[in-house]
Chain A
Amino acid sequence: MLCQHYKEALIEAAASSAQAQGELRAHLDACASCRAEFEREQTLFASIDAGLHVTANPEVPASLLPRVRARLDEAATPLTHWFQPWIFAAASVALAVTIFLIAPPHHTRPDSQAKQAPQIPVAVTPGISAHQQNSGASARIASSNVDRSQRGHHSTLLRPLASSQLEVLVPPDERDAFASFVAVLGERREVELALVTPGPQREDEPTSLAPLQINELEIRLLAGTESEQSDEAEQKQ
């Protein structure tokens, strides 16, 4: 009973790696079994600490940091040179499609006329206006005057691109807005993502029309019919 009383204090002392003091020290001096138990506890905690030291201090492989650096190189490359051009390409395509859909419909030519019509070369001025350069927009904008009546449909304007950069046709009054938009794209990734993310596909629901409600027709005699009948009766008499 007496030894049981000191058990907790004995473990506490062993756990804290401190020497037993005071009443506990006196009991340990007097009780051989508790002294042996205390020594076992001290050994146990010392073994735990030594085992933890082994577990927590393994030799670091020499290949660790070189491998990390190699992976950092791999991670950095696609982010700067591969990913962003694709975002811009997707955004450009989305804008082109939007313009194509928004533009008002044009009169169509017969197919034969369309085949005979020579392909109109698109005059593109490659220079950049001073205003555009000063605006700081990250878009290169060139102007082109095209007779819409000659081309039939503005999609024919999408000439083969000589350069590797993508080109988008926009109405002139939207040019500055588009340049600003492209400049903002680099800072706001959510806009880029929103452009390239396909919208939810909705199937058109068939419209249903309620049947017409027609009240029952009531046929009445026309006004004056009664007097005509009485006139005829008088004539017969």
Chain B
Amino acid sequence: MQELVLVQPGRTAGDQLEREAAQADTRREFEQRLSECGPLAYRVARGVLRNSADAEDVAQEAMLRAYRQFDRLRDRSRFKAWLVRIAFRLALDRLRAGKRRELRDTVWSQPEHQPPAVNAEDLAASNEFQAHLENALAELPEKLRLVLLLAAMEGQTIDEIASMLGISTGTVKSRIFYARRQLAEKLRCYANIIKKR
């Protein structure tokens, strides 16, 4: 005669409710930050990939990854920087993998996105020069490229970029300076394009 006991492993209703409530809180908090930081992630990806479809994919993937690991982020005030880094890294991976989508909507196919026809901006709108500029941008070291992209984005100040990347404002300024210098070195031979316009 031996006694055996029947065991049903499973979650109690209380555990399940607590878990669902915690998930709902996490989701709510994440979505609040998403509205603010989602476009930034897209723009970073777009700046690296130069393709809207790829950039949207990468931005979505970055936000999904951020959501999955949101609980591990202790300092929630660093969320923006964290998301930007994820998006930048994913965009670089995508770029290196050489995945290209058929639908390429390049900058010059979107005239509505170009700045008003002020002299210098008008010159920059030159398709040929813009293509050379983006090629030169792609060749910049990653650190310089990310800072330059962020600095060129509307609404991003030097202080914000420094805080976002965890570096000093002096380092941000220095990187911007060297990045612009390197771009100028690469693009000087195309200055005749500007002159012709």
Residues of A within 8 A of B (CB): 11, 15-16, 40-41, 43-61, 63-65, 67-69, 71-72, 75-76, 80, 84, 88, 91-92, 124, 138-149, 154, 157, 163, 165-172, 175, 178-179, 182, 185-186
B167 within 8 A of A: no
Q: Do the beta carbons of B9 and A92 come within 8 Å of each other? A: yes
Q: Which of B3, B23, B149, B194 contacts A145 (CB 8 A)?
A: B3
A186 to B12, CA, bound (A): 12
Given A138-B11, A166-B9, A170-B7, is A57 in contact with B20 using a C-beta cutoff of 8 Å? Answer: no
- Listed by A's residue number, 11 A-B pairs whose Cβ atoms lie within 8 Å are A43-B195, A46-B119, A48-B184, A56-B43, A65-B35, A68-B64, A71-B64, A138-B15, A144-B3, A175-B5, A182-B9
Q: A40-B191, A55-B133, A76-B27 are in contact. Are A140 and B8 (CB under 8 A)?
A: yes
Contact present for A64 and B39 (CB under 8 Å):
yes
| Known A-B contacts A58-B52, A142-B5; A44 and B187 likewise in contact (beta carbons under 8 Å) | yes
Whether B137 sits at the interface, judged by CB under 8 Å, is: yes
Band of interface residues on B = 35 or more
Tell me, in angstroms, the Cα distance from A45 to B194 when the chains sit together.
Answer: 11
| Assembled-state Cα–Cα distance A52/B55 (Å) | 17
The segment from B74-82, B90-98, B120-128 found at the interface with A is B120-128
Interface positions of B from 66 to 89, Cβ below 8 Å from A: 67-68
A175 to B6 Cα, complex, angstroms: 9
Q: Are A50 and B42 in contact (CB under 8 A)?
A: no
Given contacts A58-B46, A75-B68, A186-B15, whether A141 and B113 have CB atoms under 8 Å apart is no
The answer to whether B7 touches A178 (Cβ under 8 A) is yes
A53 to B11, Cβ gap below 8 A?
no
Chain B residue contacts of A44, Cβ below 8 A: 184, 187-188, 191, 194
Q: With an 8 A cutoff between CB atoms, is B164 at the interface?
A: no
| B153 proximity list for chain A (CB < 8 A) | 56-57
A61→B52 contact, CB < 8 A = yes
Q: How far is the CB of A42 from chain B (nearest CB, A)?
A: 9
With A50-B121, A142-B8 known, 7 other A-B pairs at CB within 8 A are A55-B152, A56-B43, A63-B56, A75-B64, A140-B10, A167-B7, A186-B15
Render B172-185 as a binary contact track against A, CB cut-off 8 A, 1 for contact: 00000100110110
A143 to B43, CA, bound (A): 62
For A40, the chain B residues whose CB sits under 8 A away are 191, 195
Q: Which of B21-72 contact A (CB under 8 A)?
A: 23, 27, 30-31, 34-35, 38-39, 42-43, 46-47, 50, 52, 55-56, 59-60, 63-64, 67-68
| Smallest CB gap from A148: residue in B | B2
* B103 at interface by CB-CB < 8 Å: no
The residue from A49, A71, A124, A182 contacting B152, defined by CB atoms under 8 A apart: A49
Instruction: Scan residues 106-163 of chain B and give those whose CB is less than 8 A from a CB of chain A.
Output: 107, 110, 112-115, 118-121, 123-125, 129-130, 133-134, 137, 148-150, 152-154
